[in-house]
Amino acid sequence: MEKIHIMINGLPGNVAKTMADAALKDERFELIPYSLTGPEIPQSRFRVDSFEFSLVKPEEREKVFLRLVEEYPGFIAVDYTHPSAVNANAQFYTRNRIPFVMGTTGGDREALEESVVKGQTPAVIAPNMAKQIVGFQAMMEYAANTFPDLFAGYSLRVKESHQQSKADTSGTAKAMVGYFNTLGANFKKEEIEQIRDPEIQEKEWQIPKEYLSGHGWHTYTLKSADDTVLFEFKHNINGRDIYVSGTFDAVVFLKEKLTQPDSGQRLYTMIDVLKKT
């Protein structure tokens, strides 16, 4: 099987580093030794195990990508950069016809999807790449569409905790709020309780200390108006390894799409990937 060339963007960020480390051990892939990074990153090179990456600043990427497209035709970009770079990166990928997996959350998601739909290359975009959570979201979407207003009159409380470096509110939590609202809740995304304080996370949430720098804990609580009925949904993730498998499945999914007749569809989600796998 011919290896798939992938470019992991977002180094030296922790999630991008996790992806790069896993890709080095995966026989399906061959890493491109370049990674898009932010203007605030001081170093120009970054090493993952024995593999060295050149870090590409925004002002350098046009010139670098011209060379990469020639040297690695058909490569796929995996984006785990920063929420502030989401839309600019997506526009850059689509403008240069580079298929990509957008694992970065935040940004203007409607504009992000629109840029792909109007472009000429496929992309997988999802607020969460963990396959089990994506499956849970699919179940919630089914419930919302099948049983609208099931929880009408119930109050909703949403709490999410992530590492202190996470700049935005959880995209997964925002998506879940949409499902719960269809089920009858009346909840604004701005009401999501966003926890980023390590002391609170360790003492009150009892998140293991070794995972304070990388975790995603979510709790969704529904309570009846008279306080006699309570439903609670949780998904707690320690570390970042769970995101690797889904991301790589999305890469393989895109590669297969590139070898098939053009269906005209450009935008895909992790639900599409799960149905395929």
Looking at the chain, the whole-number percentage of residues with pLDDT higher than 90 is 90
What per-residue confidence (pLDDT) applies to 122? 95
Residue 127 has pLDDT above 90, yes or no: no
Q: Are residues 53 and 72 in the same domain?
A: yes
Residue 12: CATH number of its domain: 3.40.50.720
Q: Are residues 98 and 153 in the same domain?
A: no
Which one of the listed residues 82, 162, 174, 235 is annotated catalytic?
162
**In the chain, how many domains are there?**
2
Q: Are residues 70 and 59 in the same domain?
A: yes
Which band of pLDDT confidence, cut at 50, 70 and 90, is reported for residue 277? low
What per-residue confidence (pLDDT) applies to 167? 82
Q: Are residues 245 and 121 in the same domain?
A: yes
Q: Are residues 121 and 251 in the same domain?
A: yes
133-175 per-position pLDDT tens digit? 999 999 999 999 999 999 999 999 999 999 998 988 998 999 9
Instruction: Identify whether 234 is a catalytic site residue.
Output: no
What per-residue confidence (pLDDT) applies to 213? 94
Looking at the chain, the whole-number percentage of residues with pLDDT higher than 70 is 99
Residue 1 has pLDDT above 70, yes or no: no
Q: Are residues 159 and 227 in the same domain?
A: yes
What per-residue confidence (pLDDT) applies to 79? 97
Q: Are residues 202 and 98 in the same domain?
A: no
What per-residue confidence (pLDDT) applies to 8? 98
Domain containing residue 215: 131-238
What per-residue confidence (pLDDT) applies to 266? 94
What per-residue confidence (pLDDT) applies to 57? 95
pTM attached to this predicted model: 0.85
Q: Are residues 146 and 234 in the same domain?
A: yes
Which one of the listed residues 166, 215, 218, 255 is annotated catalytic?
166
Instruction: Identify whether 255 is a catalytic site residue.
Output: no
Which band of pLDDT confidence, cut at 50, 70 and 90, is reported for residue 261? confident
For 157, 201, 269, the CA distances from 250, given in Å and listed in that order, are: 32, 31, 9
What per-residue confidence (pLDDT) applies to 162? 96
Q: Are residues 22 and 159 in the same domain?
A: no
Residue 184: CATH number of its domain: 3.30.360.10
Q: Are residues 24 and 117 in the same domain?
A: yes
For 110, 159, 216, the CA distances from 210, given in Å and listed in that order, are: 36, 21, 13
Which band of pLDDT confidence, cut at 50, 70 and 90, is reported for residue 2? confident
Residue 121 has pLDDT above 70, yes or no: yes
Q: Mean pLDDT of all residues in the chain?
A: 95
Q: Are residues 41 and 154 in the same domain?
A: no
Q: Are residues 265 and 211 in the same domain?
A: no
21-64 per-position pLDDT tens digit? 999 999 999 999 999 999 999 999 999 999 999 999 999 999 99
Which band of pLDDT confidence, cut at 50, 70 and 90, is reported for residue 250? very high
